[in-house]
Structure 1
Amino acid sequence: MAVTARTDIKAHSSQPTALFTPAFILGWLVNLTQYLGFYFLITVMALYAMESFAVSETAGGFAASAFVIGATVARIFAGWAADRFGKKKILLIFVALGTIASLFYIPAASMPALIAVRLVHGFSYSLASTAVMALVQSVIPAERRAEGTGYFALGSTLATAFGPAIALFVIEDFTYNMLFWITVGTNLVGLVLTLFIRKPEFIKIAEQGRMKATWSIKTVVHPAVALIGLFMLAIGLAYAGVITFLNGFAQENELTAGAGLFFIAYAVAMLVMRFFLGRIQDKHGDNPVIYFGLISFALALVLMSLATEDWHVVVAGALTGLGYGTIMPAAQAIAVSSVPSNQVGSGISTLFLFTDIGVGLGPILLGTLVAATGYSVMFGALAAVIVLASVFYLVVLSRRAQH
């Protein structure tokens, strides 16, 4: 069964062809603030919980993953809410809620309180990130879908590269409370920027004559996006292995210098390729870009499994940027192009739901594998997962109509 292309993709002839509009730029910046808030805390939360409340590594890991649990629960409603009540309204409400939630990290004085804050923060982040993605997708010209999606994804890439580094610097030289205040400030900037986003006239006209969506299982798992979602579940699982166990692997093998540059190499590689890959996908279809990403990601994981020098880890970081950093925005473009224009929120939310499941399951499943076999075997196993995902894409998804 192939994913079918959207037939109404040029339904609004009045849509402009410019890509970097005010709505796109402001949406990009809001998205950056949301991802920074996520990456500031995800890398240090387990350690913070263990140090502050004297809990086990398992409990500390749950404090970190509670955010993902809240985000995953929100995916059940996020796409429908954005389509039903309006992307701008949902974005504003849940950026505000995320800002309020981030304030409560400081007074949270127990593990249950911390986990509650993480759940609410993750819930609000999920709805906000879905809404801003749907909003920006609605202003990207159809003929530049993949290019625009790729540029939009650079915000999350920069957050991936610099968020953890900033967090580690702050807790080493200052305090966790300082990091929490920085997170609050970042969310507050996102809230202010959201207030200035204005929907273009062609979107307002389109929304006036549109029936309001009703919640159903199809708004949670959109049938047109389910297959590319399953593909991204496997990709998310592999990515979770990298971001979760990179530091432990580096410390065990004395490769911390390479690990420190891993996400910088990731961001640089993706930044350079963004000038080419999106245009290639728009012009030649999805397959060349997806295959390029899969090959790069598999090579990154193989190299990690064999790494003995810092430069091995840095090169693996660049390959991961060319791999996961290419596949994710390409899949987002596929998802958006596969659904009607009034169901973009549901399409994006479906893709994120499957990806979140992969990322959420990764630390649990792979932690057991690491304990039994070690890091190198785990990275090798994840390379095999990417090979299986490649076969799935080739057999099931590669016949998708080229656009």
Structure 2
Amino acid sequence: MAHVPAPENTTRSTQEPVATSTVRLWSREFVLAWIVNFFLAFVFYFLMTTMAVYAIKEFIAGETASGLAASMFVIGSTTARLFAGNLVELVGRRRNLLIALVVGALASLAYFPASSYGSLLVVRFLHGASFAIASTTAMTLAQSVIPRARRGEGTGYFTLSMTLATALGPLLGLLLVDHVGYGALFAGSAVASVLALVIALFLRTRDLAPDREARARLLRFRPADMLHPAVLPVASFMLVLAICYSGVLTYLQPFAAEAGLAGGASIFFLVYAASMLLTRTIMGRLQDRRGDNAVIVFAVLAFAAGLALLGLAGSDALVIVAGVAMGLGFGSLLGALQAVAVSKVPMRRVGVAISTHYFMVDLGIGIGPVLLGLGLGVFGFDTMYLVLAVVALVSLGLYELVHGRYERARRRVRAEDGEGAAAADSDLVRH
């Protein structure tokens, strides 16, 4: 039998040969963590779509400065991801979550007295940092109670909390700003943050305290402890896809305005979220039963198709179809690759695995607009989206290199072992 290279955690694959429907998924802790994560993501999207305009109106910020006011949250989040995994182990899941949620609630209230552009940037950075630590902890807690046999399905259900926030956050944020004002926006952010904190108080989770040697290692915050080496290869694939997606987040509105497709762009993220809602649970179950490759390859193809449709869009209808394809594609990839990342580490290191995964997501969304902005000086938006579609397709080669071939080999070995066990049982019956 051929030797198959294995990740650190060979016994915790995202697929298990057991009847998944008989294993309970929706536990009390899972549901509470889901609600907390929803409020965290809601606040992020609630404020993200309005901060650039707020900086322009309140502080007369220029185009670059207003963009920084929006992205400073992501900068704070990306920085904190480096430390989030270690903090989960050092402080404990529940305590770490509560501390981060308190900081997040205080940051939401700090928008009111932020009377200068500089103070707004500080608040945005601290708010992003608290979000990264709290969301990493909430996801780690959820992963600790998801049955191994339903890892893909459970991760898919859990990330639906972010999907709902993607749709509701921008919608309600813009409605409040247009009809009430920014004071109501910040009040809504504070209320959602406090609700997350109150719900988290009811969480009950047991933490495995690290031994003295492990604690000393974690306190050094070595690179290998902050970004898990077993997760980095597949997370690098996620980085490429996040850069591609940043082209949609950042440039969809100016592209639509230039091409006369504002109608389609106005409901793009709504159909994107609806597509994710309808397909996420199906994809999670498929991942548990058919393996990582079946879901991830299909999702990349759907994502690339969505990017290509944007590049070719000549009507609002094509923009809407592109939103459906991207919800099916990139929306499925976020949950599927998180499940892969978790499967590569032992349970005590799940926090670091999740922070590594989302560090690459944040990094891609953060640097993508800068890289793509350089290219826009040479070609237009339509060409950019077509190029990104090609990049997404080519990234499948990277996936094959860092995970796909090993996953295929593991499933082949598992199938051979299963056939061998079945043959042995058959011989036993005959004799």
By the TM > 0.5 criterion, same fold? yes
Query: Match of 1:293?
Result: 299
Judge conservation of contact 1:33–1:190 (CA < 8 Å) in 2.
Answer: yes
* Aligned positions of 1:175-194 closer than 5 A: 175-194=181-200
Distance of 1:155 and 1:353 partners within structure 2: 19
Task: Flag the 1:2–1:233 CA change in 2: closer, same or farther, 3 A.
Answer: farther
2:12 partner letter:
I
Distance of 1:209 and 1:345 partners within structure 2: 13
Distance of 2:372 and 2:168 partners within structure 1: 25
Shift of 1:173: 1.3
1:178 partner letter:
A
Query: Match of 1:9?
Result: 12
Query: Match of 1:61?
Result: 67
Query: Match of 1:34?
Result: 40
1:363 partner letter:
P
Judge conservation of contact 1:2–1:399 (CA < 8 Å) in 2.
Answer: no
Query: Match of 2:119?
Result: 113
| Secondary structure at the counterpart of residue 6 of structure 1 | coil
Structure 1 residues 106-144: Cα deviation after superposition (integer angstroms, max 9, x where no partner): 221111000000000001001001000000000000000
Shift of 1:73: 1.0
Judge conservation of contact 2:89–2:210 (CA < 8 Å) in 1.
Answer: no
Structure 1 residues 144-189: Cα deviation after superposition (integer angstroms, max 9, x where no partner): 0000000001111111122112112111112112111111111111
Query: Match of 1:399?
Result: 405
Shift of 1:274: 2.3
| Secondary structure at the counterpart of residue 308 of structure 1 | coil
Of 234, 238, 244, which aligns to 2:250?
Answer: 244
TM-score, length-scaled by structure 1: 0.93
Which has the larger displacement, 214-223 or 336-345? 214-223
* Aligned positions of 1:4-403 closer than 5 A: 4=7, 6-9=9-12, 17-199=23-205, 203=206, 207=208, 212-213=214-215, 214=218, 215-401=221-407, 402=410
Shift of 1:367: 2.3
Residue identity (%): 42
| Secondary structure at the counterpart of residue 107 of structure 1 | coil
Show structure 1 runs of 5+ residues with no match: 11-15
Structure 1 residues 368-400: Cα deviation after superposition (integer angstroms, max 9, x where no partner): 323442211221121122022111112332023
Query: Which structure has the greater CA radius of gyration?
Result: 2
1:7 partner letter:
T
1:105 partner letter:
Y
| Secondary structure at the counterpart of residue 299 of structure 1 | helix
How many residues are treated as equivalent by the alignment? 393
Judge conservation of contact 2:311–2:383 (CA < 8 Å) in 1.
Answer: yes
2:82 partner letter:
I
Task: Flag the 1:273–1:92 CA change in 2: closer, same or farther, 3 A.
Answer: same
| Secondary structure at the counterpart of residue 112 of structure 2 | coil
Judge conservation of contact 1:302–1:379 (CA < 8 Å) in 2.
Answer: yes
Structure 1 residues 236-267: Cα deviation after superposition (integer angstroms, max 9, x where no partner): 11111111111111222222221121112112
Distance of 1:186 and 1:381 partners within structure 2: 39
Shift of 1:43: 1.3
| Secondary structure at the counterpart of residue 405 of structure 2 | coil
Distance of 1:376 and 1:64 partners within structure 2: 25
Distance of 2:37 and 2:363 partners within structure 1: 21
| Secondary structure at the counterpart of residue 328 of structure 1 | helix
Distance of 1:209 and 1:80 partners within structure 2: 11
Structure 1 residues 319-375: Cα deviation after superposition (integer angstroms, max 9, x where no partner): 111111011100000000000111000111111111111010012222232344221
Show structure 2 runs of 5+ residues with no match: 14-21, 412-431
1:358 partner letter:
G
Structure 1 residues 54-87: Cα deviation after superposition (integer angstroms, max 9, x where no partner): 1210011111111111111111110011122211
Which has the larger displacement, 45-54 or 223-232? 45-54
Distance of 2:384 and 2:33 partners within structure 1: 37
C-alpha RMSD over aligned residues: 1.8
Structure 1 residues 163-219: Cα deviation after superposition (integer angstroms, max 9, x where no partner): 1121121111121121111111111110110101112xxx45xx2686654232112
